[in-house]
Chain A
Amino acid sequence: AQTVTQSQPEMSVQEAETVTLSCTYDTSESDYYLFWYKQPPSRQMILVIRQEAYKQQNATENRFSVNFQKAAKSFSLKISDSQLGDAAMYFCAYRTPSGYALNFGKGTSLLVTP
């Protein structure tokens, strides 16, 4: 079974600064997908960014980017120019191409201070 580990239960960042959230995973598959989801206090699960394992280039979405290290099975999320609205729980998730269900990490709570 694939496992996803987020070792930082809580993180804090000042507004306009940069923060990196860590995620590692365990798999024997060579092809898979990785995701970061954001869950604000509203409870809605919002996709932030996705990465296909076969792509060497790291995914970026505006202020959000990932550092994907396939050999190390590491998938960290970098948030640049942090904003108050970025405060939320962030979940790392994994799935294989044939298995459509997501395996989630336990989440990292991000606090953004003015």
Chain B
Amino acid sequence: DAGVIQSPRHEVTEMGQEVTLRCKPISGHDYLFWYRQTMMRGLELLIYFNNNVPIDDSGMPEDRFSAKMPNASFSTLKIQPSEPRDSAVYFCASSSYFTEAFFGQGTRLTVV
């Protein structure tokens, strides 16, 4: 397996634009997580899914953020409209009941 795949690796966008981050989890994993990493706040959980169903979205900062998992092999995190304070590295991770979390390489988002 190629591991957790995130795209794009880097994204630069202007304030007010819509941004969509993508994630393909490891096949067979039934948990998927979105984390955000910033210098000030460290690694924070935004949302996680189990069997494509959102379980805990209490970390989603505000209504501008939304996440979907339409099937077991794909998830998106959308920010609309984006703001400079959303600049961060966004990680997707997946796991199963028997394994630890495996992380993607992250998407570095810069909102100017």
Contacts and interface: CB of A to CB of B under 8 A. Distances in A.
A100 B91 contact: no
B42 A106 contact: yes
Interface in B85-111: 89, 91, 93, 95, 100-103, 105-106, 108
A33 B43 CA distance: 18
Contacts of A101: 33, 45, 48, 56
Interface SS of chain A: loop
Given A91-B43, A104-B43, A107-B42, A45 B103 contact: yes
A91 B93 CA distance: 15
Nearest to A37: B103
Given A91-B43, A100-B48, A105-B42, A50 B56 contact: no
A103 B48 CA distance: 13
Interface string B44-82: 010010100000100000000000000000000000000
B56 A42 contact: no
B89 A43 contact: yes
Interface in A72-114: 91, 100-107
Nearest to A47: B100
Contacts of A44: 103, 105-106
Contacts of A47: 100-102
B68 to A, nearest CB: 18
Contacts of A43: 89, 105-106, 108
24 contacts: A33-B100, A35-B100, A43-B89, A43-B105, A44-B103, A44-B105, A45-B91, A45-B106, A47-B100, A47-B102, A50-B100, A100-B31, A100-B33, A100-B48, A100-B95, A100-B101, A101-B48, A101-B56, A102-B33, A102-B43, A102-B45, A103-B45, A104-B42, A104-B43
Interface of A: 33, 35, 42-45, 47, 50, 91, 100-107
